[in-house]
Structure 1
Amino acid sequence: MDARRNWFRGSLLLRGLQGLSLWAQDTRTWATAGLLTSWAGQGRGWTARSWLCRGLDGLALGWAVVLFAVAPYVSTGIIGAILAGGTVLWLVMVLTRPLQLTPITLAVLAFWGLTTVAALCSPVLATSAYGWGLVTLYLVGYALLSRVLQTHRDWVVAVYLLTVAIVGVEGLRQWQDGAVALATWVDQESPLKDTTRIYSYLGNPNLLAAYLLPAVSLGAVAVLVWSRWWARVLAAAVTVLAVVCIGLTYSRGGWLALGLMGLVGLALALCQVSARVRAGLVGGAVGIVALAVAFIPGLQVRLASIFVGRDDSSNNFRITVWDTVWQMVQDYFWLGIGPGNRTFETIYPYYQRAGYNALGAYSVPLETWVELGVVGLVVSLWLVVVVWGWAVGVWLTRPSPERWWAAAALLLTVGLMVQGLFDTVWYRPQVQMLWWLGIALINSLTVPKD
């Protein structure tokens, strides 16, 4: 009786989680229908004759290649222009091809809808409208990437990894030759105050760490699934380079994110191997971490600083900003102040404590709460649940290489989420589009097969 009751409770919980994440084995139930297919049906004749429509896939791939190839080197304005160009491409696709409705896209639309409501209810409508426009560009970029990754996944991943290789080599050069300290805040009483923190072309060590995190999971999976030996060697080299450079950023958030990515990746691997191999994997992981902590003094100092609270000046600054933002949350609890960093910079000075100027909340969940309210926070968390639920589902039910790419995307989003708990570099376009790349990768694996 107890076993049966436990099974029932477990199955009930499983069904609840599947329902919350909109999981379904047969994704054809989410296929396009009705108005969603009407555009393609009405325009099938002329779209077949149009050279522009026939070349849309190539143009979309070129857009993705340009986006990820230049992102670390150009200004946010140029990235915005590239995203605007992608919006035009996406609109042409919408008018000539069926829309692809998936559970993840439904959750993304819900997030966009709440962002729209928060912008309309903002006390500073004009600046929130600007933030809303940026969010819209990102989400359209996600939609276009979902299309591109269905047929050109390896190309997009390869371009990103090659760009990471260039960024990483520049980071190593900075470590070797030294670099001017830019946004490299370390407590002046710390023994690491004179340590070089690399930032490569990104200008900020925390931003560099966030930019490199996806390369660890995508590169590791590329080693497993790519067929050409030279491509595997390149992917392995980039993966190692990314891990080393994340270490040299001395970004505590980046280190914590990398560690949790390793734990989640280890958990996924343990589900697929024998008991003997499991013991070896666990022992190896524990040994690597123990050796790193024991023999790398800088790692010891930076990790220890996490637990000293306000005694570390960086911690003290963040905690003070969090306290201030919490006061803003209480005044704009339900729908927030409106989206965008400009909206935050407009409202924050009314609450700011002297000497604690901030461009953001230094925490993505807290930033989401203050911008979109508690309703927007709940919808954002639901989006993450849907994405992770489908990633795990693909991992458990699909063959290789799809399951491996789902694992890579899951680890990518986990890493960026963990670092986002303590920093808001997630909002920078170089990182933001990598976040949506991960979600688009999972979404592309859920599209119904013909």
Structure 2
Amino acid sequence: MEQMKQVLDGSLLWRAITAMCLWFGRQWQNSGVIQWFLHPAGWGKAASENSVFFKLWSLVRRALCRLYELLRLDKLFAGSVFTQTWVWCAIPVVLAPALCKFRPSLMVMGLALIGYASLLLNLVRDRKRELAWAPINRYIILYAAVYLAGTLFSVNLRGSLQPGLLSVVFILFSVVLYNAITGRKQLDTLVALMVLVAALVSFYGILQYLFGWGYQSAAWVDSDMFSSISFRVPSTLDNPNMLGQYLILAIPLGGAKLLSAKSWGSRAYYFCCCGVMCVCMILTFSRGAWLGLLFAGAVFVVLLNPRFILLAPFALVALYFVLPDTVISRFTSIGNLGDNSTSYRVYIWMGVLAMLKDYWLCGIGPGDAAFNMVYPAYSYNAIVAPHSHNLFLQILCDAGVVALAVFLLLLFVYFRMMCVSLSREKDWTSRLLQIAFTAGVCGFLVQAMTDYSFYNYRVMFLFWAYLALGAASARRSQLPKGRLLV
């Protein structure tokens, strides 16, 4: 590695390109737009306390504290395991991708509600404890409120009620999880457990491929165009595209843990975890997920060191010679309308856009029942679909243009928060986690353009938990080392 660095440093072309990139970098960093982006005005706890949500919460909390005192519950919950909020919030986050039987989404919701109850108990027991502030929290709450309104005004209230309420519970869990993390060790341990479970889920997926376990749908691959692909790995997520979405979130965390490992044993362990996850990602044969992971990797590398972007062309060429022909042909078919899955999506998007001309303001409500009640009247070529195969279009369908606007604003605030933290961060481990959580969301959103990422509610849950952990990583340096249990 050192020899390669010396060779590159001795190259006039390399030095010229590096100097040019550094000049552009300085101009970019000193521009007015970037300075405005990295120095947001009005971000602070005081601004949050002036919101309607905070004032309503204060009234409810005072009433609950008074009730707690009147019932004299102090002795009942003194030293109780139910006060360990981090534990009850970590359990659903760690187990969500592994649960695959007996209505797993409802099981995850039940575990999440225990986390809600534990945080509420701690806030009622201790009047001095305050909700932790994060720039994205108010937008998360606002998005949940708009989504709930979209559910209540659904064209099929009965069909939308369960998916709508489930979505709202999962969205708001991100605020609960953010408040549950009170120490640096809690955040690091939770990320390590997430990487371990992702590696186990991926290993099970590889075993599925080797032994042909699990359900396969004829709709998952065009057998005429890709006759060499006989099996796509779904693992515990029931669908290879959903598994790919999940791995886009997990692999950058594995990369961050690998680069921050302090011993050779830890490096070997996390290298194996990343390798297993990457192999499983290939076996999903999900082109959108591959594209999302490549984008996430590019963001990770550029945020780690912008000069690495110069090596991107060489890396792509190397991939061409390393990857099997099946993978290359599958990837290069992106955008080919001769592929049934591609044309299928295009026809769905055309039908959904026609539908949204009439329902753009409030949407039609979440869930398959509402979608199938309205969409067939607008479908092209009699294409049947349970959703729009695009996250942003589906948010419009579920709750209208206001929900999409709030969601995009939430993402803007999230990326701004992460970039502000990165520009000031000095701690190497904290910086790596911030890069990973930023890159993972970027890759997830790329994949979301080709599929409805929240169709699997466990993937939706993990996305919102991911945002909370990203926000927690932004303040990791300010967190005390602390203990796992408090």
For normalisation by structure 2, the TM-score amounts to 0.79
Letter in 1 for 2:396: W
Which one of the candidate residues 421, 442, 464 is aligned to 1:436? Answer: 464
The 8 Å contact of residues 164 and 212 in structure 1, kept in 2 or not, is answered as yes
How many Å apart are 1:377 and its aligned residue?
1.0
Is it true that 1:201 corresponds to 2:236 in the alignment? yes
Which one of the candidate residues 335, 340, 344 is aligned to 1:317? Answer: 344
Deviation by residue 1:231-278 (Cα, 9 ceiling, x = unmatched)? 33322211121112111111001100011011111211224xxxxxx3
The 8 Å contact of residues 257 and 415 in structure 1, kept in 2 or not, is answered as yes
Distance 2:88 2:42 in 1: 32
More divergent stretch after superposition (399-408 vs 170-179): 170-179
Check 1:316–1:141 CA distance in 2 against 1; reply closer, same or farther (3 A cut).
Answer: same
Check 1:53–1:354 CA distance in 2 against 1; reply closer, same or farther (3 A cut).
Answer: farther
SS at match of 1:142: helix
The 8 Å contact of residues 149 and 444 in structure 1, kept in 2 or not, is answered as yes
Q: Equivalences for 1:54-69 in 2 at 5 Å?
A: 55-56=81-82, 58-69=84-95
How many Å apart are 1:99 and its aligned residue?
2.0
Distance 1:53 1:440 in 2: 27
Letter in 1 for 2:196: L
Is it true that 1:419 corresponds to 2:451 in the alignment? no
1:51 aligns with 77
The 8 Å contact of residues 416 and 426 in structure 1, kept in 2 or not, is answered as no
Check 1:177–1:391 CA distance in 2 against 1; reply closer, same or farther (3 A cut).
Answer: same
Letter in 1 for 2:162: Y
2:138 aligns with 106
1:3 aligns with none
Which one of the candidate residues 265, 270, 278 is aligned to 2:300? Answer: 265
Q: Equivalences for 1:236-247 in 2 at 5 Å?
A: 236-247=271-282
Distance 2:147 2:48 in 1: 26
Check 1:240–1:200 CA distance in 2 against 1; reply closer, same or farther (3 A cut).
Answer: same
The 8 Å contact of residues 210 and 419 in structure 1, kept in 2 or not, is answered as yes
The 8 Å contact of residues 69 and 159 in structure 1, kept in 2 or not, is answered as no
Check 1:391–1:170 CA distance in 2 against 1; reply closer, same or farther (3 A cut).
Answer: same
Check 1:354–1:91 CA distance in 2 against 1; reply closer, same or farther (3 A cut).
Answer: farther
- Which segments of 5 or more consecutive residues in structure 2 lack a partner in the other structure? 1-25, 481-486
Distance 2:294 2:242 in 1: 17
Q: Equivalences for 1:244-323 in 2 at 5 Å?
A: 244-271=279-306, 278=307, 281-282=308-309, 284-295=311-322, 296-309=324-337, 311-323=338-350
- Which segments of 5 or more consecutive residues in structure 1 lack a partner in the other structure? 1-5, 272-277
Letter in 1 for 2:202: G
Letter in 2 for 1:394: S
Deviation by residue 1:144-175 (Cα, 9 ceiling, x = unmatched)? 22123342112211222221222111222223
Distance 1:100 1:126 in 2: 36
Is it true that 1:383 corresponds to 2:410 in the alignment? yes
Distance 2:263 2:84 in 1: 23
Letter in 2 for 1:399: K
The 8 Å contact of residues 175 and 197 in structure 1, kept in 2 or not, is answered as yes
How many Å apart are 1:101 and its aligned residue?
3.3
1:76 aligns with 105
How many Å apart are 1:59 and its aligned residue?
4.4
Distance 1:13 1:71 in 2: 39
How many Å apart are 1:391 and its aligned residue?
0.9
Work out the percentage of aligned pairs sharing the same amino acid. Answer: 23
Which one of the candidate residues 172, 179, 195 is aligned to 2:206? Answer: 172
Which one of the candidate residues 159, 165, 170 is aligned to 1:127? Answer: 159
The 8 Å contact of residues 156 and 370 in structure 2, kept in 1 or not, is answered as yes
The 8 Å contact of residues 281 and 290 in structure 2, kept in 1 or not, is answered as yes
Distance 2:314 2:73 in 1: 59
The 8 Å contact of residues 150 and 444 in structure 1, kept in 2 or not, is answered as no
Deviation by residue 1:400-441 (Cα, 9 ceiling, x = unmatched)? 222221111111111211111101133312211221122101
Letter in 1 for 2:77: W
Deviation by residue 1:325-383 (Cα, 9 ceiling, x = unmatched)? 11221111112112334432333233345652211110001111122222211111110
Q: Equivalences for 1:388-403 in 2 at 5 Å?
A: 388-400=415-427, 401-403=429-431
Distance 1:341 1:87 in 2: 27
How many Å apart are 1:176 and its aligned residue?
2.4
Deviation by residue 1:193-213 (Cα, 9 ceiling, x = unmatched)? 543222222221111111212
Distance 1:346 1:228 in 2: 57
The 8 Å contact of residues 256 and 432 in structure 2, kept in 1 or not, is answered as yes
Distance 1:290 1:163 in 2: 32
Instruction: Note the aligned Cα RMSD (angstroms).
Output: 3.2
Is it true that 1:369 corresponds to 2:390 in the alignment? no
2:254 aligns with 219
Which one of the candidate residues 265, 269, 273 is aligned to 1:234? Answer: 269
Q: Equivalences for 1:121-200 in 2 at 5 Å?
A: 121-151=153-183, 152-179=186-213, 182-183=216-217, 185-200=220-235
Check 1:407–1:386 CA distance in 2 against 1; reply closer, same or farther (3 A cut).
Answer: same
1:275 aligns with none
How many Å apart are 1:87 and its aligned residue?
3.0
SS at match of 2:220: coil
1:14 aligns with 34
